[in-house]
Each structure stands twice: as C-alpha cells, then as structure tokens.
Structure 1
Amino acid sequence: MKISIDLTLTPLQDNYESHIIDFIRNLRASEFTVLENPLSTQIYGDIDRLMPFLTQEIKRSFSELDIAVLQMKIVKTDRSDYEPHF
C-alpha cells in the first residue's frame, strides 16, 4: 500500500535549525521520494518500508533534542505527482 506523509518537526529549543536540517537530510538520503516546502516535508512510499524507516529517523532525531513536536499527516495514496489544476 502506497502512502504520503506530511511532516513538520518543531524542536522547542534555541538551536533548532541544525536539527531540522539533519532530519531533512536523512530523509533525502533515503530510498523514498521526498518533497519540501517552507512549512513541511513530504515523503512518499510503501507503508511497510516507510513506517519503520520513519520510526528510526524520528527516534534518532528525538534522542538529540530535549523537547520537540512532530506533526504527521498520513494519506492512503501516493500523492507525489499531485499538481493543482487552478
């Protein structure tokens, strides 16, 4: 089953930028399709391979932070080729 995930990592500390950059770089280095915009990062792939990868990356990122919020929206389809028609 293909899924699309929208992620927003928000470290609640002063030196937050490097943590966000590291998180995105690790997503980019994966086998999955990754798209970014100024507010969030989207990652696309098969649920059975993507979710274990994300669990590992979230755990790694959280272990380097005191406090953080990760917002995640999951859609049951691959929306990586979506283009607005308006």
Structure 2
Amino acid sequence: MQLSVEISLYPLQDNYLSIIKWFIGRLDQYPDIQRITNGMSTQIGGDYDTVMALLATEMKASHENWGRGVFVCKFIPGGVNLDHSE
C-alpha cells in the first residue's frame, strides 16, 4: 500500500531554516521515497511501512538534535501523484 504525507516542520528556534534544510536532507537519504518541497511544506510518498518508519526515525532525530519543534502532517493512504500540478 502506498502512502503520501505532507509535512510542515516548525522548529522553535531562531535558526529554523537550517533545521528545516537539515530535516529535508535527511529525507533525501531514503532512495525508495519520492520527495517534493515547496515554500510551505514537503511532500513524501512511497510504501506505507517505509514512509511511517522513516518518519518515526527522522522526527525522533530532529527532536534529539534540535529540541522542541512542531511537526504538522497530513496522511493520504493510497498515495497521490506528487508530480501533479495545475
């Protein structure tokens, strides 16, 4: 089963842009997922279990490295075409 997730990260620190870029870079270490980022969020897609496992790992790493931060996520089971635009 496929899963798409829209993620917004709000680090509770002044250097928030570097933390967001760090997180996106971590997502890029997973060759089996698709990632698209725009000015408001990052969307990832792939196998349900793979996506959920990487989110658990990378969200935990973010909190361990940077402390408090807020993740806002939308989960779409079955996935969506991340390349679609109108």
- Common fold by TM > 0.5: yes
Between the aligned partners of 1:54 and 1:67, the Cα distance in structure 2 is: 16
Instruction: Name the SS of the counterpart of 1:13 in structure 2.
Output: coil
The 1-side partners of 2:10 and 2:35 are apart by 18
Any stretches of 5+ residues in structure 1 without a counterpart?
A: none
- Identity score, percent: 36
The equivalences for 1:23-34 within 5 A come to: 23-31=23-31, 32-34=33-35
Kindly provide the CA deviation profile for residues 16-40 of structure 1, in whole angstroms up to 9, marking residues without a partner as x.
1211111001112212100011000
Question: Deviation above 6 Å: which 4+ runs of structure 1?
Answer: none
TM-score (structure 1 length as normaliser): 0.89
Residue of structure 1 equivalent to 2:47: 46
How high is the TM-score relative to the length of structure 2? 0.89
Deviation readout 1:9-58 (Å, 9 max, x if unpaired): 00011121211111001112212100011000000011111101110000
Partner of 2:16: 16
Partners in 2 of 1:15 and 1:81 — Cα distance?
30
Over aligned residue pairs, what C-alpha RMSD do you find?
Answer: 1.2
**2:66 & 2:74 partners in 1: Cα distance?**
22
Q: Does 1:83 align with 2:79?
A: no
Structure exhibiting the larger radius of gyration computed from Cα positions: 1
Residue 66 of structure 2 is aligned to residue 65 of structure 1: yes
Give the Å deviation of 1:66: 2.7
